[in-house]
Amino acid sequence: MKTNKTRRNFLQQTSAWAAGAAAAGTMGLPNFAHAGREKELNIYCWEGYNSDDVLDPFRREFKANVKAEGLTSDPDAVNRLRAGETKVWDLINLNNPWARELMWPEGLIKELPRDRFEPMFEKMMPAFHPPYEWAMDKTGKHLLGMTQRFGPFSFVVNTDKISRKMAEDQGFKLFLDPKMKGRYGVLTYDNWNIYHMCIAADVHPFKKHNKAEMDAYTKVAKQVFNGAKLLTDDLVAMNLALINGEIDAYFTGGTYTASPARFDGAKQVRGITPNSGPMDGKGGIVWIELTSVVNHPQISPLAEEFLAYVQRGDVSKKVAFAEGTYNPVTQMGAKDVLALFNKEELDAIQWDSLEQEMANSADYDINPDYAEMYEIYSAAKREREG
């Protein structure tokens, strides 16, 4: 009996609490729903923008509650927006093609006021001066985002073992040389691997492919995997293997992956951009990040403020040297921003060859045969011999 009584009391108490909470909810909810988002900002970005070094000064200056989540794949992020997360995020930071090719046509992002943001492009490196193609929609009327970090991304060698000149001259063919069997790794950023395998097969990665091109790609995919000593998606593990002599080069990589090792003093780790290749003569690829305002039904006014904030010189430097990887930023086109980087930092991001590497690289784009090529890629990886 005693137990029953206690249980009844407990139930009475809980229902009272529940009723109270419900009442508070119904009273509080409309207020919450109508509350503006003046002091709230949610950012979905590649690692770096979610660093406290970048976010904390903004939080203090704007007394804002900023939340940032790192993303690991562009298509994943786009799918999350498609699945309804436009109600969650205010800003999205992805590689260049997605805004123009997908997010803008699908209504997932908003345009930026050109009068406020276009002058900022004027201060960037010459290649990014307005109208910058990837920041505009296909009609050239709407500004879709701001650029900042970018970097050539092809492959990485240990220059103590393979000279920079030889690597640049041979390009991705280096990995098809029988002498390289067992001497290189594949950094399994799967989408990038596919593009680079296309280049190694003398196939343009960003165009529709015929059967002969698919066959050439298939042959190279198998050859690259069969000759690799290790596969990993961890750039630190890959750099370690390169420095310790397990391997002499790795397939897929660039400033983004080599810079942490270089900044630690391993200057022999170097991102290489081939001198020539099948993309209108170019053999390397460069990625450019674009940060856009999400088509949030209740967009935070801080979204545009944040875009302007990260363009400041000192903040640009923090973005370039945020946690994990180090990358050039478009704002280095301004002398006062460039002056903020010391010799070691410039050397880490291969500033000496950046212009040449950019000239030899095609811009990252979407591969129309990605799904089919991925099947071939994953089968080649699974069926790897040796």
Partner 1 sequence: MAERAGKPLMQWLRQPGVLAAVPVTLFLLGGFVGPLILVWWYSLMPPRTFSLAQTPTLDNFISSAAGSYYISFGWSLYLSAVTVVILILICYPVAYGMAKLFGKWANLITLLVVLQLLVSENIRLFGWVLFLLKNGIMDGSALYLFGLSVPSILYTVPAIVLGLVYVYLPFMLFPMVLGLSMVPETLKEAAFDLGATRMAVFREIELPLSSPGLMIGGLLTFVLALGSLAESKILGGQRVIMIADDIESAFTFAQNWPRGAALSVLVMVISGGLVLLLLLRLDLDRIMGRR
Binding site for partner 1 (CB under 8 A): 7, 72-73, 75-76, 79, 82-83, 185, 188, 190-191, 229-234, 237, 240-241, 244-246, 371, 374-375, 378-379, 381-384
In the complex, the smallest distance separating the C-beta of residue 187 from partner 1, rounded to whole angstroms, is: 11
Which CB, 185 or 284, lies closer to partner 1?
A: 185
DSSP 8-state class, residue 253: E
Angstrom distance (rounded) from CA 202 to CA 274: 12
Which CB, 163 or 378, lies closer to partner 1?
A: 378
Which CB, 336 or 372, lies closer to partner 1?
A: 372
Length in residues, the chain? 386
Q: Is omega for the bond preceding 274 within 30 degrees of 0, making it cis?
A: no
- Secondary structure class of 18 (helix, strand, coil): helix
Could you identify the residue written with the tokens 């990014």? 128
Which CB, 7 or 165, lies closer to partner 1?
A: 7
Which CB, 59 or 229, lies closer to partner 1?
A: 229
In the complex, the smallest distance separating the C-beta of residue 246 from partner 1, rounded to whole angstroms, is: 5
Angstrom distance (rounded) from CA 148 to CA 134: 12
In the complex, the smallest distance separating the C-beta of residue 224 from partner 1, rounded to whole angstroms, is: 13
In the complex, the smallest distance separating the C-beta of residue 32 from partner 1, rounded to whole angstroms, is: 25
Which CB, 21 or 339, lies closer to partner 1?
A: 21
Q: Within 10 A of 78 (CB to CB), how many other CB atoms are there?
A: 20
In the complex, the smallest distance separating the C-beta of residue 381 from partner 1, rounded to whole angstroms, is: 6
Q: How many CA atoms lie within 13 A of 216 on its CB side?
A: 17
In the complex, the smallest distance separating the C-beta of residue 69 from partner 1, rounded to whole angstroms, is: 16
DSSP 110-141: EPBPHHHHHHHHHTS-GGGPSSPGGGB-TTS-
Non-local CB neighbours of 381 within 8 Å, separated by 6+ positions: 188, 225, 231
- Contact (CB, 8 A) for 302 and 62: yes
Non-local CB neighbours of 18 within 8 Å, separated by 6+ positions: none
Which CB, 8 or 138, lies closer to partner 1?
A: 8
In the complex, the smallest distance separating the C-beta of residue 234 from partner 1, rounded to whole angstroms, is: 7
In the complex, the smallest distance separating the C-beta of residue 145 from partner 1, rounded to whole angstroms, is: 22
For the chain, report the end-to-end CA distance as a whole number of angstroms: 74
Angstrom distance (rounded) from CA 238 to CA 240: 5
Which CB, 299 or 376, lies closer to partner 1?
A: 376
The rounded Cα 161 to chain-centroid distance in angstroms is: 29
Token pair of 156 as six digits: 């990485």
